[in-house]
Structure 1
């Protein structure tokens, strides 16, 4: 799960940066405000890669997804992009857990076969 979720978060890092560049063209927004918000969101996306195995990491990822969708009020293209990444986030969690469960079953099966082979010799 961590690999899929981390891939999604790194993709978001770049999308947030590009959205910051688009937001800079809005004369009503100051550069400091744009890069303050984008910088925090980009930093959060990278830090979450390391926090996925810890308590609350997945939930913080959902907060980031909500923030991406909400950023569509400033950069309208972020509505569909945010929804796409929220879908990717869900898929990363859902299918990542299934992959982790399958890996655990295969590891348990391999260990049982190794023990059976060791006892037979």
Structure 2
């Protein structure tokens, strides 16, 4: 089970870092309402522009905690990172529902939520 948890932590962190650092200004098939970049996606959700860096900081921070927890296992960093990421993924799914996106666009957030729950509970 320990190997599975490590793999899930790496998958979540890599996914978040990919979206928020490498693909921030790129159009992807998963962006809400077909947005061309992260700022446009948040605008499509009806969220203020100041939320983009706040959510980005939180997601990157929780992803960092998940990675650190692989090496520093005596702390609750993995639990904190997983729960924090799970809460943010619930919010992401809610935003996709709010703008009536197809369920397919919510799939990455849903999978991250499931992986976060597995990490938090084990």
- Quickly name the TM-score band, shorter chain normalised: 0.5 to 0.7
Q: Residues 32 and 7 of structure 1: is their aligned pair in 2 closer, same or farther, counting only changes over 3 Å?
A: same
Q: How does 1:42-57 map to 2 (within 5 A)?
A: 42-52=60-70, 53-57=73-77
Instruction: Kindly name which structure, 1 or 2, has the bigger radius of gyration based on alpha carbons.
Output: 1
TM-score using structure 2 length: 0.53
Question: What RMSD in Å do the two structures reach over aligned CA positions?
Answer: 3.4
Alignment length (residue pairs)? 95
CA distance in 2, matches of 1:44, 1:7: 13
Extract unaligned runs of 5+ from structure 1.
Answer: 98-121
Counterpart among 43, 47, 71 of residue 92 in structure 2 = 71
**Which of 29, 39, 53 is matched with 1:35 structurally?**
53
2:107 paired with 1:80: yes
Pick the structure with more helix per residue: 1
C-alpha contact (below 8 Å) 1:12/1:85 kept by paired residues: no
Q: Which runs of 5+ in 2 are unaligned?
A: 25-30, 32-36
